[in-house]
Structures are given as structure tokens and as C-alpha cells.
Chains A and B, each alone.
Chain A
Amino acid sequence: MSVTSSETRQRSWWRSNQQWLTPWLFLTPGMIMFALYVVWPIFESFRISFYDWDGLGEAQWLGWANYQELFKDRAFKTSLKNNVIWLVLYMLAVPMGLGIAIFLNQTVRGIRIYKSLFFFPFVISQVVVGLMFSWFYAPNFGLLYKLTEFLTGKGIAVLADPDLVTYGIIAAGLWPQIAYCMILYLTGLNNVAPDQIEAARLDGAKGFKMLWYVILPQLRPATFIAVVVTVIGALRSFDLVSIMTNGGPFGSSRVLSYYMYEQALSEYGYRMGYGAAIAVILFLIMMVFISGFIWKMVRDERGVN
């Protein structure tokens, strides 16, 4: 290849510097997008939460007033309480997913189709899941209503009952979440060391003891991911609440993610500052979990290198 001398000089400069420059050139587009749409908005939300702002006009500095209002806001308390219920009950997806995975971890004919059909709910949009369960719960003709009517003589309209509605929505959310945990555990079970199981069998371990002392320790990476995605799923529970009840009846099924949306973009006028304050609280709750996860991941990363 023949090149002119100035090109050669440029090339040699590039040659000696490309080692450290290349990663930055490759990172730049992704980092710009990520900074613009994910990192900067987090700080901006913190700032907005100190203002009274309708999204269009001039923003008014309020100081801590939005947060002070939150502590007196009963709808906020309901949302917070429901978020805790979501977090606790959503965790059931982890053992239930493990249960189904153990049930399906066989080699009989057609088992692969069974596994993918069991996984099915996770592939469907939460909007569709919400509609399916609304139909299932529907008063007067819903399957669950009919069933409770048959058993107790009086049908229960889950989504119209302020005491039951959150549990009804969580049940709908558990359906795809269990499927997700199941697939994580199926993959995990596939990779459990067979010689250890055989050795434990020779020692007389079986059933629950085998699961607890031999299998579960080997499934720890799967359990970690299952817990992470379930916590995130529980705190992101927006879609189902929005589709199934719009936070009702009487706001009793609101969660923070939904209440924030309602305040910021409600039909009664946009309260961006107040919405941002709710989002900040949600973010701080999530931060507790994120720092835990990241701390564990960094530790593992150090262990590997």
C-alpha cells in the first residue's frame, strides 16, 4: 500500500494513541444517550421536586414544601403502604417459580413444550395480562365471581372491593413474574453438578433436605437474579394498576409509581413538582435495593479478576 507522507505521520500518531483512545470513541455515543436520557433526568427530577410547576409556565421555588405536603397526604400513605404489600407478596414469585421449575425439571416426552407454555405469561404485555385478569375478576360473570358465588353464596367482585383490590392486582402481577423466576431456576437446575447430587444421594439425602443443603446453594446465582428482578418488578408496578383499576376504587389500589403519574399528568392540572417529589421517594426506596445489588456485583467482579 502506498501512502503520502502526511498520511503516514497521522497514521503513526493514531497508531501510538489508539490503544487508549479507541475505548472512549466506542463509548461516546452510548454514554451521551445514556447521560441525556437517564443520568441527567435523575438530577433534574430532584431539582424539580423543590418547585411548583405545571410543566409549561414559570416554576415557583417551594423549598421542602412538596415533601412536607407528602407527609400529610393520605393518598401518599396508601400508596406507600400498597408498595410495601407489593414488595412482600411479590417475593412469593421466587419460591413459586422454584416449585414449578422443580415440577417441570424432567425428561419425559414433550416436556420442552410444557416448559415454554408455562413460560408464556411472561412474553405477553402486562396490559394484556391486566385485561385478562379484569375479565377473570369481573363482577356478575367473571370466573372468580362465579366461583365464590358457588362456594359461599355471595360473589366477590375483587376489583371493586377496597380491601381486596391490591391483592387481586398482585395476583395478576405474580402470574408473569412466577414464569420469569421459573425459567431462571430451570436454567439453574440444568447446571447443577450431577456428581454432587449422586454423592448426596449415596449419603442418603433426598427430598427437602437434598433441596436445602445441596441444590439451593448451587442455585444461588439464579436466586440472586430472581430476587433482583422481582424487587424491581414490584416497585415498577404501574401497568397493571393503570389497566385494571386506575388506582381505584377510591384510590385504594394506588402505588407510588401510579400516584406519581396521576399527580404529574392528571386531568386536574399538572403538578410536576409534587410528582417529582413522589418519584424521588420511590427512587430512594429503590436506591436501598440498588446499592445492595451493586455492592454484591462489585464484590463478585473483584473476586473474578
Chain B
Amino acid sequence: MFPRPVDQASPLVRTAYQVALPIALILWLLPLLGVALTSVRPSSDLAAGNYFGWPSSFAISNYAEVFQNSPIGRYIFNSFKVTIPTVIGTLVLSCMTGFALGVYRFRSNILIFFLFVAGNFVPFQILMVPVRDLTFNMGLYNTTAGLAMFHIAFQTGFCTLFMRNFIAALPRELIEAARVEGVAEWKIFWYIVLPLMRPAIAALSVLVFTFIWNDFFWATVLTTSASTQPVTAGLSSLNGQWIAAWHLVSAGSIIAAMPPVLMFFLMQKHFIAGLTLGAVK
């Protein structure tokens, strides 16, 4: 193990490490802690200049105020309306493309695979004008469906990379044996490969959920009104309205961050497995 484990070091080093850990963590999360504390600070504290001291009382009412005086509930609902169909659509498409590219050997296989991979790295701006136009012409501009459609297509690139590598690493004998038995190809997909892909599906659903929930650029390009905007775009426009009302901005930020944070803590293992794919040989 590198570095040398501290429990092999002197008691002094061990204690120093135990003390350094929480201090480093607090410094690291200082911006987050500041905002969390501000979100429960009564507005009277801010008016009195108490920005960093302990709040004079815990104003959970800030959260209630955000929900009552802004469409944040609606924004959250829109975010789910974009995110959930995107996760499902992307997984369906990429399980199929991953299967095709991971199991079959045909001439253009590598070419198609790298097209999907390269698409991932493309800057969004090169897609912006045509995608906006396309969405407009399909009558989906300023709808959650239009936003989800784009996300499905784009995320399919990333997920194909992941799925294809996952399937290519499965034991080929399984598939060969089934073929010898005369099992139809689609049945191989459905009954043999798909059940084995559960860990990949779990990892990708958490990752895609987080990516799409946190997307801001496409939300601002493809949606414009409070009835369709997801929470990232919504929060940005609320920030414009709530100038200097930092207790509300903070509470809104915490609310917007909640779903992916919960998702991360509940499915941490899958999340990290997905993110670090390829980081080890």
C-alpha cells in the first residue's frame, strides 16, 4: 500500500493524522458549510451583518419561503421529467449498441465505436445552433421532452463506451456455448447478456441521473419558461431575482443539490465504479 499505512507509524504521527483529517475536511468543504449555514440563517441576521457567526436562530422557514415564493417545486418536478426518461432511454439504447459492438466482430465495428467515443468529447457549442433549430422544427422547443431527447442521444455516446467495454470483458464462452445450442441471437442478448449487465446498468443510471440533473447549458438553450425549466436553469433565474437575499439563494441551492447527493450516498459503490471505469487496468 502506498503511502505506508499510518498504523505502522509512531503514535505521534498517528495522532497527527487523526487530527489533520477533520481539519482538512472542514477547510475543503468550507464553501458548502458556509452555504448550509446561510440557508438556515434568519434574514434579520444578514441585515445585522451577522454573516459568519452562529445564526441567532435556525430559520428552517427559509426553506418554506423558497417553496412558497418561487416555482422551485415546479423546477424540481421538471428536472425529474427530464432526468428519468433520459436515464431509461439512454440505458435502453446503450445496452443495445454496447451488445452489438461488444459481441460481434464486423468490419466497421471499431469505427462506429470510436465515433460514439469521439462524440462525447465534442464541445456543446458546436451542437447548439443546429440542435436548437432541430428541436424547434420538431415542435419540442421549450418542452421537457425536447430536452430529454437531446440528452438521450448525447449520453448514448458515453454509455456505449461503458457498456461495450463491460460486455467485451464478459466470458465469450457463454455466448459461444449458447450459439452451439442454437439459441437465437436476440435471446442471447435478453437471457444471457442482459442479466450479467446489472452492475453496469446500476452504475450508469446513477451517473446519468447526476449528469442530467446537473446540466445547465442545455436547460438554458432548450427551455425558457418556469413551466418547463429544470432546477439548474430555474435556480439561475431565481438568483437574478433574489439579489442579496442570500439566505434564500442558499436554501434554494441546497434543495437543488439534494437529489443527486442522496443518489450518490445511496449508490456510492456503483457511482464510483462508473466514474473510475478505465482508471485501472
* Interface, chain A (partner B; CB < 8 A): 18-20, 22-24, 26-27, 29-31, 33-34, 36-42, 44-45, 48, 55, 102-103, 105-108, 111, 114, 116-121, 123-129, 131-133, 135-136, 138, 141, 143, 146, 175, 180, 183-185, 187-192, 194, 197, 206, 210-211, 214-215, 221-222, 225, 228, 232, 235-236, 238-239, 242-243, 256-257, 260-261, 264-265, 272, 275-276, 278-280, 282-283, 286, 289-290, 293-294, 297-298, 301
Taking CB atoms, residues of chain A closer than 8 Å to B217 are 238-239, 261
Q: Which residue of B lies closest to A18 (CB)?
A: B185
Q: Assess the A121–B32 pair: CB atoms within 8 A.
A: yes
The interface bits of chain B over 96-116 (1 if a CB of A lies within 8 angstroms of the residue's CB, else 0) are: 110111011010011010111
* A187–B17 CB distance below 8 A: no
Do residues B1 and A105 form an inter-chain contact, with CB atoms below 8 A?
Answer: yes
What is the CB-to-nearest-CB distance from A111 to chain B, in angstroms, rounded to a whole number? 8
Dominant SS at the B interface?
helix
- In the complex, which of the residues A135, A184, A293 contacts B249, with contact meaning CB atoms closer than 8 Å? A135
A/B interface sample: 25 pairs, CB < 8 A: A26-B96, A33-B153, A34-B115, A41-B131, A55-B132, A119-B272, A124-B32, A125-B256, A128-B256, A128-B257, A131-B35, A132-B31, A136-B34, A141-B51, A143-B34, A146-B52, A184-B276, A187-B279, A188-B276, A197-B2, A236-B124, A256-B125, A275-B125, A293-B121, A301-B110
- Would you list which residues of chain B between 111 and 151 have a CB under 8 Å from chain A? 112, 114-119, 121-134, 149-150
Let me know if B96 and A27 touch, CB within 8 A.
yes
A24 to B52, CA, bound (A): 61
The answer to whether B127 and A37 touch across the interface, beta carbons within 8 angstroms, is yes
Collect the chain A residues with CB atoms within 8 Å of residue B128's CB: 45, 260-261, 264, 275, 279
CA distance A184 to B280 in the complex (A): 9
Asked whether B24 lies within 8 Å of A103 as measured between CB atoms, the reply is: yes
Bound form: Cα–Cα A185–B279 in Å: 8
Q: Would B104 and A127 count as touching, CB distance under 8 A?
A: no
Task: Note all chain B residues with C-beta closer than 8 A to A102.
Answer: 2-3
- Residues of chain A lying within 8 A (CB to CB) of residue B119: 34, 38-39
How distant is A287 from chain B, measured CB to nearest CB, in Å? 9
8 shortest interchain CB distances as A-B pairs: A37-B153, A41-B130, A125-B214, A23-B100, A26-B100, A44-B130, A30-B97, A187-B276
Contact among B32, B109, B124, B210 with A120 in the assembled complex (CB-CB below 8 Å):
B32
